[in-house]
């Protein structure tokens, strides 16, 4: 069940449907909120929320969610459950730095999440 929610969330995220990805991951995470994957799901959820805030041009929400999301994911690097987290965290950090450095809203290419081959 959790694997289905993880895969569904990735597909939604990669399709730019950040709220729906957040919902899929939350459903996968809810049965075991205090388990060993807690931070993994929190991180994915926060990154998706940051992307949603970015699209809405909410600077504070974008920065806060990307920061917390990347921080939640760091203990699971470089990959977890077949999800390539290292490139995602690097990209989130780059995007956060770009938003922090700009006085005008930067046009950023939002990240995609990839799975390890065979996952």
Angle of CA points 71, 19, 28, to nearest 5°: 70
Angle of CA points 44, 68, 32, to nearest 5°: 50
Mean pLDDT, residues 51-71 taken together: 97
Other beta carbons within 10 Å of 5: 19
pLDDT band, very low/low/confident/very high, at 1 (cuts 50, 70, 90): very low
What is the phi-psi region of residue 16: left when phi exceeds 0, alpha when psi lies from -120 to 50, beta otherwise?
left
Query: Which architecture does CATH list for 2-101?
Result: Orthogonal Bundle (1.10)
- What are the residue ranges spanned by the domains of the chain? 2-101
For the packed helices 85-101 and 38-55, what is the interaxial angle rounded to 10 degrees? 40
Q: What is the pLDDT of residues 12-47, one digit of tens each?
A: 999 999 999 999 999 988 887 888 889 999 999 999
């Amino acid at each position: 069940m959790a694997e289905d929610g993880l895969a569904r969330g990735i597909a939604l995220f990669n399709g730019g449907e950040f709220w729906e990805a957040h919902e899929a991951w939350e459903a996968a995470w809810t049965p075991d909120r205090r388990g060993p994957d807690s931070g993994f799901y929190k991180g994915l959820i926060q990154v998706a929320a940051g992307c949603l805030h970015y699209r809405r041009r909410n600077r504070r929400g974008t920065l806060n969610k990307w920061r917390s999301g990347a921080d939640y994911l760091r203990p699971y690097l470089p990959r977890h459950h077949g999800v390539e987290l290292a490139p995602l965290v690097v990209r989130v950090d780059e995007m956060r730095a770009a938003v922090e450095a700009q006085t005008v809203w930067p046009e950023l290419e939002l990240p995609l999440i990839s799975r390890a081959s065979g996952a």
